[in-house]
Structure 1
Amino acid sequence: MVDDKLTLLAGAAPAARLWVESLDSDGQGVAHSADGKVVFIEGALPFESVSVRVNRRKNNWEQGTLVQLHKASSQRVEPGCLHFGLHAGACGGCKMQHLHSTAQVAVKQRVLEDGLWHLGKVKPEQILRPIEGPTWGYRYRARLSVRHVRKKGTVLIGFHERKSSYVADMKSCPVLPASVSNLLLPLRSLIQSLDAVETCPQIELACGDAVMALVLRHLAPLTEADLARLKTFAQQHVAVGVQWWLQSKGPETVQLLEDSAQELSYALPEFGITMPFRPTDFTQVNPQINRILVSQALRLLAVQKGDRVIDWFCGLGNFTLPLATQAGQVLGVEGSETLVQRARHNYIKNKATAPVYQALCDTNFVARNLFEMTPALLVQDGSAERWLIDPPREGAFSLVRALADLYQQSNGAEGVETTPGAAAWTPPQRIVYVSCNPATLARDAGLLVHEAGYRCRSAGVINMFPHTAHVESMAVFDRVDPLTSTQR
């Protein structure tokens, strides 16, 4: 159904020649038409002269298709994947393979800075050097769609086609580890051989340091013959650590097909930490970047041996356990009781094996709905010198709002209800905020700076997802006297 405010143009509209000025936050070229309307052009880059056919219009913007490239940007490069592009059937997993990787990071940095200023009215005092790593073979997690195409007598496994619900005909994928990319065609043959070929819509990939977990979603019970085929496939690819997990319904039904001596886990060697996880648990897509991210976050947090630190949205303990090697006491807070139990298990396991020079301090975990935080709950969780916040895309508004309310109470603001015990509670001197959504970071940063008594000391991007428009970032906030803040 077409939005009545949106007109889809029928027929072949004449192409217009335009000059591309910039990229938007979705990786599209931005130009202006002769009548001043903004035109978004997929596949176009800044400082390019292009011919564009407009195929979608609204009152103040248009969507165009790149018809011809007259003058190419010096930052345009040959894509590293044969499935990338604007052609029919192109994979929609990446959006910026045609842009040099250095320029990709610069675009993400601009998105971060523009968002902080326009949405939060915050300007970092310092821009951090981008966190970068390999741009190929980095994606250790992926959700691959499966489709049996009867007419062609084949099975497709991969990401969706660009702007489509169809599955791309992928024979390889250079952003996946080579060991995974090399399995795409064998997996197609395997699924095609199953009795359940019509009822297996998805394979979820989760790679650890030594194990490649493949979670097969099946909508009907698998036959004994199918189970045997899966086991044979795992045996044939034991060198790359293939493990089959089966999912019949929701995530709680995920079960390992065969017992294995190898555990799905990843290491943080700088801190002597090993993190076991289940394939449906949240872990970072890019393990190389995650190691750098954890190291830099702790360096920026500048934890002292006697400090108490709270890790909000702690998950499995990705930051909590490394923090426990440096702090005096750590509290990990997470919304899921199941994740809290798993984080506690990871802590106990690592504490038992940690060498003396990396001993883990006293660490507790608590389940809390972090989207319904209140000043009273903050007081209940106790004071801490340092906070680390690593929320999902929704951000940490409720948590930051509660912090701001306590700040307003301490300043005697009118109309603010006093929280019992707040007088003895002290706010953190430093906050490191790790974000996967620049818009919610900007919103929360504005609240921290303008209502909670902090200054934005620094911020920078994390290139967690090369060749995509996805922006991960980190910002550091220091407690200040509100009268001396330059950002108020």
Structure 2
Amino acid sequence: MSKKKPLPQEPIEAEIGDLSHDGRGVAHVDGKAVFVQGALAGERVRFRLTRRQRRHDEGEVVEVLSASPDRVTPRCAHFGLCGGCALQHLDPAAQIGMKQEVLAAALERIGKVRPETWLPQLVAEHWGYRRKARLGVRYVAKKGRVLVGFRERRSSFVADLARCEVLHPAVGERLTELAELIGSLSIRERIAQIEMAQGDGPVVLIFRVLEPPTPGDIDLLQAFAARTGLHVYLQPGGIETVAPLPGQQAELSYALPAQDVTLAFEPNDFTQVNLELNRLLVARALEQLDPGPGDRVLDLFCGLGNFTLPIARRAGLVLGVEGDAGLVERARANAGRNGLDDSRVRFERADLYSETPDQDAAGPWDWSRQSFDLALIDPPRSGALQVLDALAATGIRRLVYVSCYPGTLARDAGYLVANHGFRLEAAGVMDMFPHTAHVESLAVFERSKRGTLA
């Protein structure tokens, strides 16, 4: 059996032609692609080879010989080690431009489609924007202390962070304090992670505990909560076990002022991490959907009603469909809280993935047997291919598709255009996660006159 050829120790000099979808520079050395961490398009760099693979190699910048005009100094002292961010060395305007290029390439390569119009890019605050996050926790005996933060880049280790520039300051500026708190507990080695949840007001921290804290531990956690104003919850088991410490219950909510809607949520519910960008997104979705008093609207993967309730302010009737029973219950409560009764908005639970429509029928979902004028869908990363036939059969003339992954949006866009007579009228990107390579986007489909209804 032949041994692996050792990696060369000498740095390699190369031109960076482009950026990959995950924010690494792409060079070609001896005809083979190399993904170079820390390099930007248009730069000449010296890099060290870190990994060989059959189809491509990987490397890391040692020296930038000729810098891109879009290169900036990272704000965070931990950038490069921490895996929470990938693009702090790239100017924010160039970051969102790169994300639009990623989306355009995916649409053409996978879906074989192009939007007729590119929508203006949506951007909000670039720092301190994260109000939802999951932080790793680890006691490191060799260091004699606890680490709290995101994982290291391409590693399962927790990065040694003093602060985080993208988390809301209420938490981002307290990572050292959190680490010291956990280090003072008897169960410091039995806390796996902390989840952060925040709307417009209070901040909840959910400590995932692998064994019960002692009374002394509870006292220390309560003192930390009193000192910081943060609310401490514990999670000893599954998600159903999440509960506040005595006196720590928090009422979480966020407002969409332009639509006169406020949504309450539980700490472990899905909400967008970037509140200000979400407000821009809701406004953009409404603008593109353009519902009127005579329209029946379908909202699939509706969650708490983030889009459903704003749509209900303008449409005749909107039906929100969601797979999580708890979210459906809270969406209904949110409708009542906002003065919207079931003559304007309704919610139903349906598993939009496991219930595959029958080829000889409209489908097993109640919504698929009804007629709608407009639809909005906001599926998870895996996309919405399973529901597209049934969705088209409802007779919608217009669809707004909110996506968190360009690959599945492109696949679904191609399917809608090729199989159901839609055209991709417009598409655009938004910077929901600044300084990361994550691409959030919105696409608008209009049914052409020759489109089918099934």
Deviation at 1:453, TM superposition (A): 1.1
Q: Which residue of 1 aligns with 2:77?
A: 82
Are 1:255 and 2:255 counterparts?
A: no
Is the contact made by 1:200 and 1:218 (CA closer than 8 Å) also made in structure 2? yes
Q: Which residue of 2 aligns with 1:365?
A: 347
Deviation at 1:277, TM superposition (A): 0.8
In the alignment, residue 67 of structure 1 is paired with which amino acid? V
CA 1:261/1:337 → structure 2, altered by over 3 Å: closer, same or farther?
Answer: closer
Is the contact made by 2:147 and 2:158 (CA closer than 8 Å) also made in structure 1? yes
Q: Which residue of 2 aligns with 1:355?
A: none
TM-score, L = length of structure 1:
0.88
Q: Which residue of 1 aligns with 2:363?
A: 376
Q: Which residue of 1 aligns with 2:263?
A: 275
Whole-angstrom CA distance in 2 between matches of 1:229 and 1:402: 54
Are 1:173 and 2:164 counterparts?
A: yes
Q: Which residue of 1 aligns with 2:410?
A: 442
Show the 5 A alignment for 1:29-40: 29-33=25-29, 35-40=30-35
Deviation at 1:316, TM superposition (A): 0.7
Q: Mark the runs of 5 or more structure 1 residues left unpaired by the alignment.
A: 353-358, 407-425
1:202 to 193, 205, 219: 193
Deviation at 1:294, TM superposition (A): 0.5
Are 1:235 and 2:226 counterparts?
A: yes
Is the contact made by 2:204 and 2:250 (CA closer than 8 Å) also made in structure 1? no
User: What is the percent sequence identity of the aligned residues?
Assistant: 48
CA 1:211/1:283 → structure 2, altered by over 3 Å: closer, same or farther?
Answer: same
Question: Residues 233-254 of structure 1, C-alpha deviation per residue, up to 9 Å, x if partnerless?
Answer: 111112xxx1111100111110
Q: Which residue of 1 aligns with 2:427?
A: 459
Whole-angstrom CA distance in 2 between matches of 1:434 and 1:111: 16
CA 1:152/1:380 → structure 2, altered by over 3 Å: closer, same or farther?
Answer: closer
Is the contact made by 1:244 and 1:258 (CA closer than 8 Å) also made in structure 2? no
SS of equivalent residue, structure 1 residue 400: helix
Deviation at 1:48, TM superposition (A): 0.6
Q: Which residue of 1 aligns with 2:86?
A: 95
CA 1:8/1:122 → structure 2, altered by over 3 Å: closer, same or farther?
Answer: farther
Whole-angstrom CA distance in 1 between matches of 2:7 and 2:373: 63
Deviation at 1:381, TM superposition (A): 4.4
Show the 5 A alignment for 1:72-221: 72-85=67-80, 90-221=81-212
Deviates more, 1:107-116 or 1:335-344: 335-344
TM-score, L = length of structure 2:
0.94
In the alignment, residue 51 of structure 2 is paired with which amino acid? R
Question: Residues 181-229 of structure 1, C-alpha deviation per residue, up to 9 Å, x if partnerless?
Answer: 2221211111111111111111100112111000000000111111121
In the alignment, residue 23 of structure 1 is paired with which amino acid? L
Q: Mark the runs of 5 or more structure 2 residues left unpaired by the alignment.
A: none
SS of equivalent residue, structure 1 residue 351: coil
Is the contact made by 1:9 and 1:57 (CA closer than 8 Å) also made in structure 2? no
Q: Which residue of 2 aligns with 1:385?
A: 373
Whole-angstrom CA distance in 2 between matches of 1:130 and 1:8: 46
SS of equivalent residue, structure 1 residue 201: strand
Is the contact made by 1:401 and 1:447 (CA closer than 8 Å) also made in structure 2? no
How many residue pairs end up in the alignment? 445
In the alignment, residue 459 of structure 1 is paired with which amino acid? A
2:333 to 334, 339, 345: 345
Is the contact made by 1:13 and 1:55 (CA closer than 8 Å) also made in structure 2? no
2:58 to 49, 58, 63: 63
Q: Which residue of 2 aligns with 1:473?
A: 441
Is the contact made by 2:14 and 2:45 (CA closer than 8 Å) also made in structure 1? yes
Q: Which residue of 2 aligns with 1:294?
A: 282
In the alignment, residue 307 of structure 1 is paired with which amino acid? D
CA 1:128/1:175 → structure 2, altered by over 3 Å: closer, same or farther?
Answer: same
Is the contact made by 1:351 and 1:360 (CA closer than 8 Å) also made in structure 2? no
Whole-angstrom CA distance in 2 between matches of 1:174 and 1:428: 43
Deviation at 1:274, TM superposition (A): 1.3
Deviation at 1:167, TM superposition (A): 0.9
Whole-angstrom CA distance in 2 between matches of 1:473 and 1:9: 42
Whole-angstrom CA distance in 2 between matches of 1:68 and 1:175: 26
2:15 to 6, 16, 19: 19
Is the contact made by 1:317 and 1:332 (CA closer than 8 Å) also made in structure 2? yes
Is the contact made by 2:7 and 2:51 (CA closer than 8 Å) also made in structure 1? no
Q: Which residue of 2 aligns with 1:48?
A: 43
Runs of 4+ in structure 1 deviating by more than 4 angstroms, as ranges, are 378-381
Whole-angstrom CA distance in 1 between matches of 2:56 and 2:219: 55
In the alignment, residue 148 of structure 2 is paired with which amino acid? I
Whole-angstrom CA distance in 1 between matches of 2:405 and 2:356: 20
In the alignment, residue 200 of structure 2 is paired with which amino acid? D
Is the contact made by 2:297 and 2:315 (CA closer than 8 Å) also made in structure 1? yes
In the alignment, residue 137 of structure 1 is paired with which amino acid? G
In the alignment, residue 209 of structure 1 is paired with which amino acid? D
Is the contact made by 2:303 and 2:327 (CA closer than 8 Å) also made in structure 1? yes
1:429 to 397, 422, 428: 397
Is the contact made by 2:27 and 2:35 (CA closer than 8 Å) also made in structure 1? yes
Deviation at 1:16, TM superposition (A): 2.2
